[in-house]
Amino acid sequence: MPSDAAVTKIRAFLKARKLDGVLLRTRSNFAWATGGGDNHIVSTTALGVADLLILADNIYCITSRMEAARIRDEELAGFGCEFVTPEWYEGNDEAILQLCAGKAVGADVWFHHLPNVANELAQVRSTLTEEEMERYRRLGRTAAKALEAACRELQRGWTEHEIAAHLAAKVMREGINPQVLLVATDERIYRYRHPIPTDKRLDRYAMLVLCAEKGGLVANATRFVHFGDLPPALEENKRKLAEIEIAMIAATRPGAKMADILQRGIEAYQRVGYPDDWRLLHQGGPSGYASREFLVVPGGEGVVRAQQAFAWNPAIRGIKMEDTFLVHEADIEFITHTGEWVYMEAASEGRTYLRPDILIR
């Protein structure tokens, strides 16, 4: 089990907020607090089957007796917490309320009378430790390699469902959860910015989007494949989009206001002739223990800090760009850059960046 850096952060938060404790029920916060533990059974819900109550001097794990053995042995070995184990038919609520009685406790979900502090916790957890960044690098590279391999292997005539299944198999065999897996082909790429897979068959053009989760951290990337030469309009648009994305990436430095970065992107949309396309898809924001810890919006709050992760995802007609990168004091580090893809160069403020190109097959 990694160090207790997250618990230390949480207890500092409790002290600053004058709280006695915090209840963590979501899968993402369970993973954060435990250094990558997994409390899920149902994969389609944000909640897990084991709750954590972190107090200034103790930690309780509340889970049913049915789940306790596995959670204790495989997820919380060495974590140092006390188990409270109601029967499966009793639920966790009463046990939690008894533990919270007489205490000022916040929660990461709406739970009875407890104040919801989820947004504040997201701010705390978004600055990553060295250990978290190293886990993130491994995840980013593994996920990107799987995504790019799937792009090289897909075949014309496959349905979008088959493409999604091919990619899912690659990441799941690595213990990675494809938290978001979007696929669109041909005209659907031009029509929809958030396309889930369908039974449509691939003719010439495919977009694959992956938000890959392991140990709570989520790495995000998008890649495109085209069979045959690109139409001139698409060739032009990929260059325009790179200009937009690099304007945002170059501005993502410690101390920068996130809303100002978004504004830089909006101005770039205007320069390349797509002044309103930023309204058709969210533009991303800080990543970490969610595909986006929160979305950056015009006029919104938030300042970039070193050791945060970001994923911007601008899009214009027929093309989108998305990678995950770490922000350092003097530089950024793409964690979903494999060096094995096709790239194009894009320059901003005297620096040249390699950005993912469309793979021609």
Considering its fold, how many domains does the chain have in total?
A: 2
Which uninterrupted H or E stretch holds 23? strand 21-26
Q: Are residues 150 and 217 in the same domain?
A: yes
End residue of a domain, out of 107, 125, 143? 125
Does 145 share its domain with 95?
no
The reported pLDDT for the residue numbered 101 is 96
Number of other residues whose CB lies within 10 A of the CB of residue 152: 12
Q: Are 293 and 285 in contact (CB under 8 A)?
A: yes
CATH number at residue 81: 3.40.350.10
Looking at residue 195, what DSSP letter applies? P
Cβ atoms of residues 41 and 32 within 8 Å: no
Same-domain check for residues 19 and 138: no
Domain boundary (84, 103, 125) is at 125
- The domain of 89 spans 5-125
**Whole-number Å distance between alpha carbons of 192 and 196:** 9
Q: What pLDDT is stored for residue 350 in this prediction?
A: 84
For each successive 10 residues of the chain (361 residues), what is the average pLDDT? Answer: 79 97 97 95 93 97 97 94 96 96 97 95 95 98 98 98 98 97 98 97 98 98 98 97 97 98 98 98 97 96 97 98 97 97 91 95 96
121 with 170, same domain: the answer is: no
Contact criterion met (CB below 8 Å) for 23 and 99: no
Whether 102 and 151 share a structural domain: no
Helix (H) or strand (E) holding 354: strand 351-356
For the entire predicted model, the pTM comes to 0.95
Residue of 153, 199, 235 lying closest to 183 (CA atoms): 199
Q: For the domain that residue 138 is a member of, what is the CATH number? A: 3.90.230.10
Of 75, 106, 125, the one marking the end of a domain is 125
pLDDT for the residue numbered 349: 82
In what helix (H) or strand (E) does residue 119 lie, and over which residues does it extend? helix 118-125
